[in-house]
Amino acid sequence: MKNPGTRRNTGLLHPAACLGRIFFYLALSLSLQETALADSISGYLDYTYTQQDIQTKEASGLESDQETETFRQQYSLTLDKTIYPNLKLLASGIFEKSKTTSTFSSSIFAEQETTVTTTILRPFIDLTLRTPLYIAGIGYNRRERKDETSNAPSITNVNEEYNAVLGWKPDGFPSVNLRLSRTNFYDKDRAFRDATEDYVTLLSEFEPASYLRLRYRGTYDNIDDKLNELETRTVNHTGSAWFTEKFFRGKVLLNTSYEISRRTTETTAGGTGDVALQEFPFAGLYALDDTPVDGELDPAPALIDGNVAAGAGISIGLPGILGDTRPRNMGLFFVNETEINTLYVWVDRELPIGISSSYSWDIYTSTDNLIWTFRQTISSAPFSSFQNRFEINFSTLTERYIKIVVNPLTPGAAASEPSFLDPDKISVTELQAFIRMPAEDIKGEFTTTTHHYNLDIRTRLLDNPDLYYDLTYFYYRTESRSVTTTSTLSNSLSASYRFSRVFTGNARVAREDSKEERGDITAYITKASVTAAPFRTLSHTLTYSGRYESVPEGNTSRSSFFLYNTAELYRGINVYLSGGLDFTELETGRNQDSTLVTAGANIVPHRTLALNISYTSRDTDESGGGRPDSSTLSRTTDLTVSYQPFRSLYLFTTLTWLTETDRKDTLKNYGVTWSPFPDGALQFSFAYDENLRTQDDAKETLIRPSLRWKLGRSSYLDFSYLVLKSDSVTEEVDTKIFSTNLRIYF
């Protein structure tokens, strides 16, 4: 067997030969720019060549070497034509073909060579008639992907959609918007997938007065899985009304809304298979948090708005230099406990296997959106061949809050797919929950009716101090196999008063009475804060919050005191110091006492230099509840220094010291980016990044020089060479990637 550390002749294109092709295509493409037919015709040609070599040496002595060579060509043509003043035709087509040859060898396995050829065809056409009164349109798009692998049969997956839209928006009358689509999912041989989905949605909105808004939404969804002889038909009707008005010269504000929804699902099963029934959450949630076992998630409405094409403001792509690498916590809130065993995470683009398989997903659940319980890790969730989504399956959970935690893309994973464009722009668009059940268990018709009512009345009692009385009422009822009802009535008083130029106070007291399936719940809530701002550059805030709750299982209480201090000592020097205590008693009798301290400084002594220092300390003691006492601690110190003496040079370093109950670690990151000719037609850049971790004696070094030749009109020719070395006590990985990319717009 050949030594895996030596270069072999794999029969692939030599880089010089490939560069010859690139320059041939360059000359051809430049000539095409001069002969563009019309302003309404545009497109581009894209050629990418990549050569990659990954050598691995494990601590056990096992060595391996993987060489990969890829040539990808892509052609795009778009026609944008206004046929008549209100009639517009948009047509486009993308043809892409790539060939990847990989050779793998190791000290215990013989050399293996694999060739994969992928061909993708994506035609699209849309004809739209649009006026201020109405809109009508028809469209067709298709995505056909053929994968040919050596020593294996080829697979061709097709996703084609026919769609139509008809809208009417008259002044003073209800608007109507009707959308119809038929989507076929199948492989060419109909061996693995052969399904058709018909989807119809009707939306009507009407605002008869400024204080009243009405809406109706009806959907019809029919999925016919021909291979499994399984057909699922879902019809949903939803009616909503919102009323908002002020009374008594604006002293009383009334907001109220009511929504009723009826969903009927009919399942016909002639064979075997599973049916995924979607569960609709009340709210979407999101937070950046590297301690996922505790902490509240914030509302994220875009995460559950039903639009799987638009981003929800959550990126799981490559963070980049000094980007936020904290885990992404994406969650769902259900009013009642709901059974879930499948989550779909939609993203805004198709992901290659090297990227999609690099993500690991952690599942957490909670009863209050504060304390989270780890449930399961999904090391690699499958990415759909037909749609841009991860499908995450796990053991059935019954909870009100569920979240999925994922880290953003790592440089190593991004380097595994060098031909994947814009690895930093992977955006989550939607999070959906399902309960997957055997078709035999839900044959026939299944109907669910939900009622959701909200009432919010705010009354101003005094002008000085500002004193408000708030009454809110929430009612939710679900009628399906069984009937569940949840309601919450809240009465509260809130006050705000400015004692002087320096001191301001705020306070709120409330009582919440809830009725749930598990029984009645009563909660008393208190919040108060005092802020002192003697100077514009100095501020102190003392806060108290408490919640006492009586639940069927017992009584719970939580109270906290925090002091926040911020100061601008000099121009460009800002410091902060905060600390607090948190006391929690659970219904089980378990006590949790925590102490939190944070401190830091942001220093900008010169416009080219910035320093950030932060320190966080958290100690938690637990006792009682029939369990042994325990203590945990966490200390984190961060130091970041960045220096940009001129626009073309950027240097930075980040040091992190971690101390936990059973772990100590030091993380170091150094980097430099240099672009000596940022405005010229020929641009060179050099990036160096080094990460050190003491716990497992790990070191990761990234070196990447690159060259871009601007050809005009956004066209360019790129060359880059990446060296990525990763050393730890378990293995050494040496990655080298050469890549060149030519893109011509016309």
Query: Which has the closest alpha carbon to 332: 436, 404, 236, 260?
Result: 404
Give CA–CA dist 307/309, Å, rounded. Answer: 5
Query: What pLDDT shows up at residue 271?
Result: 63
Give CA–CA dist 31/106, Å, rounded. Answer: 47
Give CA–CA dist 681/708, Å, rounded. Answer: 8
Average pLDDT, the chain: 87
Is residue 29 scored above 50 in pLDDT? Answer: no
Per residue in 609-660, pLDDT tens?
999 999 999 998 989 888 899 898 889 999 999 999 988 888 989 999 988 8
Give CA–CA dist 391/531, Å, rounded. Answer: 48
Per residue in 477-534, pLDDT tens?
988 877 889 999 999 999 999 999 999 999 999 999 999 888 899 999 999 999 999 9
DSSP state of 499: -
Between CA 544 and CA 552, with CA 550 as vertex, the angle to 5 degrees is 150
**Length of the chain in residues, anyone?**
746
Q: Please list, in sequence order, all residues whose beta carbon lies within 8 angstroms of the beta carbon of residue 244, skipping any fewer than 6 positions away.
A: 211, 253, 254, 255, 256
Q: Show the DSSP H helices in 528-579 as ranges.
A: none
Give CA–CA dist 671/640, Å, rounded. Answer: 11
Query: What pLDDT shows up at residue 19?
Result: 47
Per residue in 395-433, pLDDT tens?
999 988 999 999 998 877 776 676 677 788 899 999 999
How many other C-beta atoms are found inside a 10 Å radius of the C-beta of residue 680? 11
Query: What pLDDT shows up at residue 627?
Result: 86
Consecutive H or E run containing 33: helix 15-34
Summarize the confidence of residues 283-307 as an average pLDDT. Answer: 86
Per residue in 687-746, pLDDT tens?
888 888 887 788 888 898 999 898 877 899 999 998 989 888 888 989 999 999 999 998
Query: What pLDDT shows up at residue 321?
Result: 62
Between CA 151 and CA 157, with CA 153 as vertex, the angle to 5 degrees is 140
Neighbouring C-alpha atoms within 13 Å toward the C-beta of 742: 20
Per residue in 78-121, pLDDT tens?
999 998 889 999 999 999 999 999 898 887 877 888 899 999 99
- Position with higher pLDDT, 305 vs 612: 612
Query: What pLDDT shows up at residue 214?
Result: 96
Give CA–CA dist 519/513, Å, rounded. Answer: 11
pLDDT confidence bin for 6, thresholds 50/70/90: very low
Per residue in 58-71, pLDDT tens?
888 888 898 989 99
Query: What pLDDT shows up at residue 59?
Result: 83
Can you say whether residue 172 is alpha, beta or left, with left for phi > 0 and alpha for psi between -120 and 50 degrees?
left
Tokens 């609709």 correspond to what residue?
280
Per residue in 665-695, pLDDT tens?
888 888 888 888 777 788 888 888 888 888 7
Consecutive H or E run containing 302: none
- Position with higher pLDDT, 690 vs 258: 258
Q: Show the DSSP H helices in 35-181 as ranges.
A: none
The 10 Å CB-count burial string (b at 16+, else e) for 410-444 is bbebbbbbbbbeebeebbbbbbbbbbebebeebee
DSSP per-residue string spanning 305-338: SS-SSS--SEE-S---TT---SPEEEEEEEEEEE
Per residue in 126-138, pLDDT tens?
999 999 999 999 9
Strands 314-315 and 682-693: unpaired
Query: What pLDDT shows up at residue 272?
Result: 65
| pTM exceeds 0.95 | no
Give CA–CA dist 341/436, Å, rounded. Answer: 7
How many other C-beta atoms are found inside a 10 Å radius of the C-beta of residue 127? 17
Q: Which residues pair with 489 in a beta bridge?
A: 473, 513
Q: 3-state DSSP call for residue 243? A: strand
Give CA–CA dist 91/138, Å, rounded. Answer: 12
Tell me, rounded to whole angstroms, the distance of Cα 453 from its chain centroid. Answer: 30
Summarize the confidence of residues 232-240 as an average pLDDT. Answer: 92
Is residue 253 scored above 90 in pLDDT? Answer: yes
Q: Please list, in sequence order, all residues whose beta carbon lies within 8 angstroms of the beta carbon of residue 144, skipping any fewer than 6 positions away.
A: 120, 121, 122, 156, 157, 158, 159, 160
Going from the N-terminus, what domains does the chain have, and what CATH number goes with each? 283-437 (2.60.120.260)
How many other C-beta atoms are found inside a 10 Å radius of the C-beta of residue 271? 11
Is residue 393 scored above 50 in pLDDT? Answer: yes
Per residue in 263-283, pLDDT tens?
998 888 766 667 778 888 888
Give CA–CA dist 505/240, Å, rounded. Answer: 39
Per residue in 323-347, pLDDT tens?
788 899 999 998 878 889 999 999 9
Percentage above 70 pLDDT, the chain: 93
Give CA–CA dist 654/613, Å, rounded. Answer: 10
Is residue 453 scored above 90 in pLDDT? Answer: yes
Is residue 27 scored above 50 in pLDDT? Answer: no
